[in-house]
Amino acid sequence: MTAATFAQELQGFGADKEAIDDELKPMLKLVRELIGVVPNSSESLSIWPPGLRSYNLLVPNMLNLPASVFGQGAQKDLIGLAMYAASRAADCMYCSAHTCSFALRRGANPDAILGHLDQAEGAVVTVSEAISRVPADLKHDDVAELRSYLSDDDIEWLVLSVSMMGFLNKFMDTMGVELEEEAIHDVEELIAPTGWGVGKHGWSSEDYDDVQMTEGQLLRPQDNGSAGDSGKAGWEEVPVDGLGTYMRMIRHGPGAKRIERSWTKGVPSRISSVLMMLEDSVGYSFPVLANLGHARAVKAIGTVLRDNLNPETSELGLGAKCLVGLVYARVVGNDKLAGEAQLLANLFAPHLSPHTMAAVSRFASGEAEYADVPEGLTAVEAAAVMLAKTGSPSPSTVTEITIDTATSMLSPAQIVEVIVWLSIQQMMHRMYSFYDVAVLEDDSDVGIDLR
């Protein structure tokens, strides 16, 4: 019998918890400080090891950890709120629980989690939701409003954190990773009344069988107010950052940094040099990265792109990967991502003719129940685009039929690689969705005619 989620179906194909803990202990201890648990996702990600490395590179570097916890950079409670709003907009119940806990631990007001926002919080939530919805709907006025409360430097950290959540939202939702009971108990009494439920992420707990899948509500700016006389709205208080948190993060930081250095070996630290490295190693520099000013984030993203487009470590094949990227781009309506997928296909898969790429594009754009898989694809390519078709929406539309089809045609490592690449596409999509509007906003300020 087919399991209800990929994570459940693929249990036992990755490394066990003990092996992962031995390899990544300092990183896992830091994560426990951030959200109170070690996520279950590592076992699924370890099925395709570059995916596990990608996850562990993106999270600390796009969140500016541990510096942000010590109060350096953007206001950490607002970053936590942005991550939560993004996860709710994407309807990822798994990440909504973790980001709620993250935000509370960083000092966010539970009233803000419930949607009672002051003006600055409202501006943060509006932008975070807008670039996390499918399709994205950010407006120039949203960017201008955010800039009235945050510096451009802090806004970049906000965009990086929400984009990083794009990776996590897509992977956790499409894989259907099981949510840890500690995370549920941290936040369920606070956010369950807002429409949050465990859904498909509670597959081993009978207590949550009656919770419907994807019943979330988007967090919306409201008039600033109070949650009422219910105190903390029934949630069990989670610890806020304090001296103990800082001391433990300082203790584990050097070990985590050593692991990270081994993964980023050969990747330069300057942004311009990272773009040149990508041009040399991949054949494309991903120009959206040129909008960023924080080198550590660009170095991590550059490493992840390099590793995920390495033909020697790909189980799926780069041709199939380009098709997956094209499907995602068409589903979410991002023409720039679609252009990148076409360019990468020209570089890595010249056997994919313009006719084939056009057929895949039409397949991605059509209604799921009426879409026929394009002819001329290999069995692996066909299975990959079918999985991408159901994995690209937010929330995903993965069913037991999807799981049965994918597992009959793809190896466990190939399935995870498809979902990791979809997750990277969603991360890039959120960056494009912000900077396409923000750069135009900058240009309009100086009177440039963009017609």
Residue ranges per structural domain of the chain = 70-240, 318-440
pLDDT given at position 439: 83
Encoding tokens for residue 189?
A: 């009494």
How far apart CA 441 and CA 29 sit, in angstroms, is 41
Report, in this order, helix, strand and coil percent for the chain, each rounded to 5: 65, 0, 35
Write down the pLDDT at residue 448. Answer: 31
pLDDT of residue 142: 98
No. of helices (H) and no. of strands (E), the chain: 20, 0
Please tell me the predicted confidence (pLDDT) of residue 313.
Answer: 96
The pLDDT profile of the chain, 451 residues, written as one tens digit per residue, is: 677 899 999 999 999 989 999 999 999 999 998 998 999 999 999 999 999 999 999 999 999 999 999 999 999 999 999 999 999 999 999 999 999 999 999 999 999 999 999 999 999 999 999 999 999 999 999 999 999 999 999 999 999 999 999 999 999 999 999 999 989 988 999 999 999 999 999 976 544 444 333 344 455 544 434 334 434 433 557 888 998 888 988 888 899 999 999 999 999 999 999 999 999 999 999 999 999 999 999 999 999 999 999 999 999 999 999 999 999 999 999 999 999 999 999 999 999 999 999 999 999 998 765 567 888 899 999 999 999 999 999 999 999 999 999 999 999 999 999 999 999 999 999 999 999 999 865 654 433 332 2
If phi > 0 it is left, if psi is from -120 to 50 it is alpha, else beta; for residue 376 that is left
- The pLDDT, as a whole number, for residue 299 is 98
Show the DSSP H helices in 106-242 as ranges: 110-113, 119-130, 140-147, 152-175, 181-191
Whole-number pLDDT of residue 236? 54
Superfamily of domain 70-240: AhpD-like (1.20.1290.10)
Q: What pLDDT score was predicted for residue 371?
A: 63
Gap between the Cα atoms of 403 and 398, Å rounded: 7
DSSP secondary structure letters along 121-156:
HHHHHHHHHHTTSSS----HHHHHHHHTTS-HHHHH
Q: Is the CB of residue 394 less than 8 Å from the CB of residue 169?
A: yes
How much is the pTM? 0.92
Handedness of CA 329, 179, 117, 119 (dihedral sign): negative
